[in-house]
Structure 1
């Protein structure tokens, strides 16, 4: 099976690659359009600034390619936020517009930002991404921006207020947490995605 991690120039590319390899899969980090279009599963990781990642995707002429994908795609952290319409980080940044929702600064109230560390993830309906994982399981987060609950939300977590821990629209899946840093449950989630 051909698995591609889209090269967004972000720091977590290799940690995602290592986690996938631990599950026994071969995986390629690439920004080659042909590699991406012919892959069976695609990962879109991201850390840092939405503006810089979107600029990188635009420079590599990958925005239209990503939006037209029909195979399963998993956005991780900023990669999930890229699926939104607009990010309010750095004023306004146009995103991929896969879901018609905003990425906004987390309303953490008395809690500090960025939101760093382990937090419980809750879901109420079965979704293949969480097969074999209990609602309330803890995953590792590192972010200051989020997508608040929307009709595409499949799991929630709370840091001051509830926000989307995972989303799904058609073949596009997203997780705000880092499964590659979330131990055995994170590996289970990656395995579930790879077996879709």
Structure 2
């Protein structure tokens, strides 16, 4: 097998840990390339769309550089695509962050601030939601293979995806309210947590992605 896995670099987030984790789990013949070149992303066999930071900056940069179109072209070409953290949020319909911004619309749902709803205690939720939390697997998916239901993954985020339809929900988490920890649609899987920072369960998910044939 000879494949190129493109990790989309748009200047937001430390891609070193994601790249190293993917290299560790890659099969023989799989080459991990961190790139901000839309043509490299478009030509890759698999695409990883990570990110941290503000969604407006993310959407602005990927739109100005043409990376948005390259990611959507990879999806349209039915290549396996994995979104991580802000990469997942950017694939939703709309985010309330930064006074509201339209996103790529790959998945249905909105991204909202954690601090707005109240937790079970009646007090505002502490943001960001940071640390380990359990993920309930929803709908059987190949990327959950070999990962126990309710395994813990590492989160760092102040905004979360809600209103995701049942058929696109792949994992659910709770932090004062239930939110989408993972979403899936055809050849795209996206997670709010950081698999590269989530020990064995996260590495297994990356391995599953690198072997996935949707």
TM-score in terms of structure 2 length = 0.87
Counterpart in the other structure of 2:44: 39
Counterpart in the other structure of 2:183: 167
C-alpha separation between the residues in 1 aligned to 2:148 and 2:14? 26
> Structure 2 matches for 1:53-92, cutoff 5 A?
53-69=58-74, 70-92=78-100
Q: Secondary structure of the residue that 1:83 maps to in structure 2?
A: coil
> Structure 2 matches for 1:12-51, cutoff 5 A?
12-24=14-26, 25-51=30-56
C-alpha separation between the residues in 2 aligned to 1:84 and 1:124? 18
Q: Runs of 4 or more off by more than 4 Å in structure 1? A: none
C-alpha separation between the residues in 1 aligned to 2:201 and 2:138? 18
TM-score in terms of structure 1 length = 0.95
Q: Secondary structure of the residue that 1:71 maps to in structure 2?
A: coil
Give a deviation string over 1:101-160, Cα, whole Å, max 9, x none.
Answer: 211112352431100000000014321111000111000000011111522111101000
C-alpha separation between the residues in 2 aligned to 1:124 and 1:34? 34
| Unaligned ranges ≥5, structure 1 | none
Cα contact 2:39–2:70 (8 A) shared by 1: no
Alpha-carbon RMSD across the aligned residues, in angstroms, is: 1.3
Return the index of the structure with the highest Cα Rg: 2
Cα contact 2:132–2:154 (8 A) shared by 1: yes
Counterpart in the other structure of 2:10: 8
